A and B are shown apart, each in its own frame.
Chain A
Amino acid sequence: MLPKYQTEVPQHFKALFDQLGRQLNGQKDHHFQELRIKGGKNLFDMGFPTTRNEDYKYTALGRVFNKEYQLPDPKQPGPEMMEELRGLFNSEMDSHRICFYNGQLVSELTEVNEKGIGFFRLSDLSDEDLLNGEVLKHMDHTLSQTNNPFLHLNTALCREPLVLVVDKDHRASKPIQVVYHYSANDSDLIANPQFFVIARENSKFSMIEKHTSNPSDREVAVFANVFQRWITEKNANVDHTKIQELSENDFIIHNLIASQEAHSHFYALTADLGSRITRNNLEVHLLDSHTQTDMFGLFIGNANQHIDNQTFLDHAVPHCESREWYKGVLSGKSRGVFNGKVLVRQDAQKTNAFQQNNTLLSSDHARMDSKPQLEIYADDVKCSHGATIGQMDDQILFYLKSRGLDDDQAGELVKVAFLAEVFNSMDEGAIKNTLAGKVLDKLREIQ
């Protein structure tokens, strides 16, 4: 018999959807409820993907759906958890702060106070507010276009979408630090944060986003199903770094869709160090010419971790440039998947697209499935793509050891060196240092 999730969306997801509907009764009139209900309907029509779906060929999600998830408690966390959450921010980084606990905003720990940067709950915007209409219109459009059921799941089970707007011509004075923390205690927990980010014309800012969960000495699991929609308007310049460090029983599906207007620059760095199963769906749509898109990825897996990066870059217009480079180190019995699709449509002349995935397997039992795909329908373009999967080079290791470095030091040096291009793509500063520190810790832990 087929597992249940392959034939229908498990009953308890429907039950959660109904439960949230009852809880949100008071906000019934808000237009987001219409979207939410649409999301639920789409999800139940569409169902969850199985490994027979080409895009999920290497990532079986049975383990994820096989749980009796509960919705997060709508109450704000207690004082002890507040302290813990506060500690998750990098206090050495002068930054704005946004805190999500189990996918819900923690207002006490959220501080975005800069003229030119707006941060709202969607439900706080009045129906007449232009921003409200704009966000809902985009969301409706995105959801009607997608075949990704996790966007529908997120919308169906999201309590309150958040909106960040960086105003026209505004250059943020400091980065925005976003902490997503999850904690499952007595039951399995599902979290569905939804975040809408708008970089207005000629604006500039950077964001660092971290995902963590409570320690894994528990039977129950967290399932974080994140949805972010980024709009980068004309000449906007945004820089987004995500560091995922969930505990080893947890699941995360991180969905990010960005669109870029003319002369904009979108930089995304996706770093996955934790979780049992990670799936990243990163999509960038180019709406106008002379854009620059950077998609960098870094993944380090050990034990039974499974890290799947799915990216889609749509070159629909001419004169755009993109760089995509994912690098990872897999040890233990971990598995990695890279499925990067770059589409260069017929109109996209003078496209300059680079795509590369390199993986270092540091154990005989680790495995990588890499599928870089470049589909080109224009003739005057510069495009390249490739993938390598290799082992540690014994000649290099011997050279290092002959200088007195022990096995661990030599291995660490080789791995760090292997990841160099990803770090080189980052600006110098606190975000880079934070990531470098975490990567080093993880590499030491898996030796």
Chain B
Amino acid sequence: MLKIKDLRVSVEDTEILKGVNLEIKPGEVHAIMGPNGSGKSTLGFVLAGKDDYEVTSGSVEYQGQDLLDLSPDERARDGVFLGFQYPVEIPGVSNSNFLKMIINSIRKSRGQEELDALAMLKLLKEKLASLGMDTNMLKRSLNDGFSGGEKKRNEILQMAVLDPKLAILDETDSGLDIDALKVVSDGVNSMRSPDRSFLIITHYQRLLNYIVPDFVHVLVDGKIVKSGDKSLALELEDKGYDWVKKESSEVMA
């Protein structure tokens, strides 16, 4: 599905990702943890195609093609989804119009028929209900004045309607209360399938109790310094990042 090789990325001459290697196979769920500023969001943005970042070396292969060659919208249409850590607010765009627009534009690009108003409403209502969201959310402007938790649920709603192949969720659990965390996790789990992969960025082991990952990686200072299974998250919770930092510098020394 996704093969990242020795990826180095800079912003304004500062290197942020310093040689990331990661392979995600179809159906797998990978979690990335790591201290603030270590480059987790940067990795997500680079995979989604944000052009503030300069890829100085390395490669990213997605479904057999060079992902870095594609524009952000092409990536989205090819099934890459990024759930933003900080979703942007767009006053003046109604949430429902936005959802309709992205659904039909993605359907069109996949050679499917556009949905008519009735089918659209049905789909949206269904997805909203499954995420425990109020239909009032549709009438409001996109993310405008949404609470932190509402924004995150709205990201998951967009993921659900776009039906991606590779979903990157950047701290989708931050700001969620316990019930919302459960709802969002259920939403993700219901979408797990043998041909869909997830890359989940989080600070909290708790999320990984709900969405059980196949692999956990630790990103420190632009590099993956340790990988393991779900027990690694528990160990991190217990011992903190200093422990992996120390261990990795010992390995390097």
**A binding-site residues for B, Cβ under 8 Å:** 393-396, 398-407, 409-410, 413-414, 416-421
Q: Are A417 and B162 neighbours in the complex by a CB distance under 8 Å?
A: no
Closest residue to A414 on the B side, CB-wise? B90
Name B63-100 residues within 8 Å CB distance of A.
Answer: 71-73, 75-77, 81-82, 84, 87-88, 90-93, 98
* A401 CA / B48 CA spacing, docked (Å): 9
Do B162 and A399 have beta carbons less than 8 Å apart?
no
What chain A residues lie within 8 Å of B71 (beta carbons)?
401
Binding site for A on B (CB under 8 A): 48-52, 71-73, 75-77, 81-82, 84, 87-88, 90-93, 98, 101-102, 105-106, 109, 158, 162
Which residues does chain B contribute within 8 Å of A414, judged by CB atoms?
90
Quote the shortest CB–CB distance from B43 to chain A (angstroms).
14
Distance in angstroms between the alpha carbons of A287 and B156 in the assembled complex: 56
Contacts of A417 in B (CB 8 A): 90-93
Can you sample 11 A-B contacts with CB below 8 Å?
Answer: A396-B88, A398-B51, A402-B75, A403-B102, A403-B162, A404-B102, A404-B162, A405-B105, A416-B92, A416-B93, A421-B92
- 16 A-B pairs besides A398-B51, A403-B98, A416-B93 with CB distance below 8 A are A396-B88, A399-B84, A399-B88, A401-B71, A401-B73, A402-B48, A403-B102, A404-B105, A404-B109, A404-B162, A405-B101, A407-B73, A409-B105, A413-B90, A417-B90, A421-B92
A403 touches B158 (CB 8 A): yes
Given A403-B162, A404-B162, are A395 and B73 also a contact pair (CB < 8 Å)? no
Inter-subunit contact B92/A418 (CB<8 Å): yes
- The answer to whether B93 and A413 have CB atoms under 8 Å apart is yes
For the complex formed, measure the closest distance between the CB of B125 and the CB atoms of chain A, giving whole angstroms.
20
Distance (whole angstroms) from the CB of B157 to the closest CB of chain A: 11
A398 with B50: CB separation less than 8 A: yes
B104 nearest in chain A by CB position: A404
Interface centre among B82, B90, B91, B158, by most chain A C-beta atoms within 10 angstroms, is: B90
CA distance A421 to B51 in the complex (A): 31
Set of chain A residues within 8 Å of B76, measured between Cβ atoms: 401-404
Least Cβ–Cβ distance between B51 and chain A, in angstroms: 8
Enumerate chain A residues within 8 angstroms of B92, measured Cβ to Cβ: 416-421
Please, which residue of chain B has its CB at the minimum distance from the CB of A413? B93
Pairwise interchain contact A404-B106, C-beta atoms closer than 8 A? yes
Q: Which residues of B contact A404 (CB under 8 A)?
A: 73, 76-77, 102, 105-106, 109, 162
Contacts of A407 in B (CB 8 A): 73
Residues of B contacting A410 with CB < 8 Å? 73
The smallest beta-carbon distance between B132 and chain A, in angstroms, is 22
By a CB distance below 8 angstroms, the chain A residues around B73 are: 401-402, 404-407, 410
Flag if A402 contacts B49 (CB, 8 Å): yes
Residue of A nearest to B79 (CB): A404
A73 to chain B, nearest CB (A): 46
Give complex CA distance A194, B84 in Å: 56
Contacts of A405 in B (CB 8 A): 73, 101-102, 105
Scoring A399, A402, A419 by chain B CB atoms within 10 A of each residue's CB, the highest score goes to A402
Partner of B88, one of A395, A406, A413, A419: A395
CA distance A393 to B91 in the complex (A): 13
Q: How far is the CA of A342 from the CA of B67 in the complex (A)?
A: 55
- A444 nearest CB across to chain B (Å): 14
Complex alpha-carbon distance, A266 and B90, angstroms: 31
| Chain B residues positioned under 8 Å from A416 (CB to CB) | 92-93
Q: Which residues of B contact A394 (CB under 8 A)?
A: 52
Chain A min CB distance to B26 (Å): 21
Q: How many angstroms between the C-alpha atoms of A394 and B50 in the bound complex?
A: 10
Distance in angstroms from A48 CB to nearest chain B CB is 40
Do the beta carbons of A399 and B101 come within 8 Å of each other?
no
Closest residue to A407 on the B side, CB-wise?
B73
B94 shortest CB reach to chain A, Å: 9
B75, B77, B91, B101 pick with most chain A CB within 10 angstroms: B101
Which of B51, B73, B77, B84 is the most central at the interface, judged by chain A CB atoms within 10 Å of its CB?
B73
In the complex, chain A residues whose CB is within 8 Å of the CB of B88: 393, 395-396, 399
Shortest beta-carbon distance from A277 to chain B in Å: 29
